[in-house]
Amino acid sequence: MDCDGCQVTNNKFTGASTAIYDFTTSGDVISGNQIISCNDIGIYPESAKKLTVTKNKVTNCICGYYDQYVDGSDISDNDFSGNTQYGIYLGGGDTNNTFKGNTANGNGENGIWLDTPNGADLKPHAPNKLTQNTAKGNPNYDLYDATVGEGCGDTDGTCNTWDKNKAHVCYPSGICP
């Protein structure tokens, strides 16, 4: 997508590379889409602001949802389960987002993963709020937040707030319920 305020709603994508790529936009709505068997990422916003990503279902892709430099957005009530690697993967520079009521079960590696940014150009994710998400049955981690360190302290030393999520295997352990 290459416009502000775009709406991608109620579509079915099968076998795409990256089904929905949203770059340097603001105010877009991605809602009610079904993405099956993509060859890469289901939903990939980058350098975007004030997005609404809700009620999408992404399965059998490498990653259900992957983003970088997303700010002030609402990612809620999506199902990113059954992907070959990750349900939700935050790559770096995400700020002031809310991830609420998402499901990331039974992915091939991890459920919800907040990575440590690599290189000087990527800033850590903070502060984001992750609440009432479910991530279970992922073989490595259900919830993972690498944003630990000095100046962080929202939940068990991370730079983000984790509240009322359902998971079994977490890093750091304090983000598990």
Residue 2 in any domain: the answer is: no
Bigger pLDDT: 91 vs 131: 131
The pLDDT assigned to 126 comes to: 72
Instruction: Please say if the pLDDT value at position 87 is more than 90.
Output: yes
The pLDDT assigned to 158 comes to: 79
Are residues 48 and 24 in contact, defined by beta-carbon separation less than 8 angstroms?
yes
Q: How far apart are CA 60 and CA 82, in angstroms?
A: 6
Residue 125 in any domain: the answer is: yes
Residue 16 in any domain: the answer is: yes
What pTM did the predictor assign?
Answer: 0.93
Residue 75 in any domain: the answer is: yes
Q: 119-135, pLDDT tens digit by residue?
A: 444 556 678 999 999 99
The pLDDT assigned to 120 comes to: 47
In this structure, which amino acid lies at residue 24? T
The pLDDT assigned to 152 comes to: 67
3-state secondary structure the chain: CCCCCCEEECCEEECCCCCEEEECCECCEEECCEEECCCCEEEEEECCECCEEECCEEECCCEEEEEECCECCEEECCECCCCCCEEEEEEECCECCEEECCECCCCCCEEEEECCCCCCCCCCCCCCEEECCEECCCCCEEEEECCECCCCCCCCCECCEEECCEECCEECHHHCC
Are residues 155 and 174 in contact, defined by beta-carbon separation less than 8 angstroms?
yes
Average pLDDT across the chain, whole number = 90
The pLDDT assigned to 79 comes to: 98
CA-based radius of gyration for the chain:
15
User: What range defines the domain where residue 154 resides?
Assistant: 7-175
Instruction: Please say if the pLDDT value at position 173 is more than 80.
Output: yes
Residue 1 in any domain: the answer is: no
Q: What total number of domains does the chain contain?
A: 1
> What average pLDDT does the segment 137-155 reach?
81
CATH number for position 109: 2.160.20.10
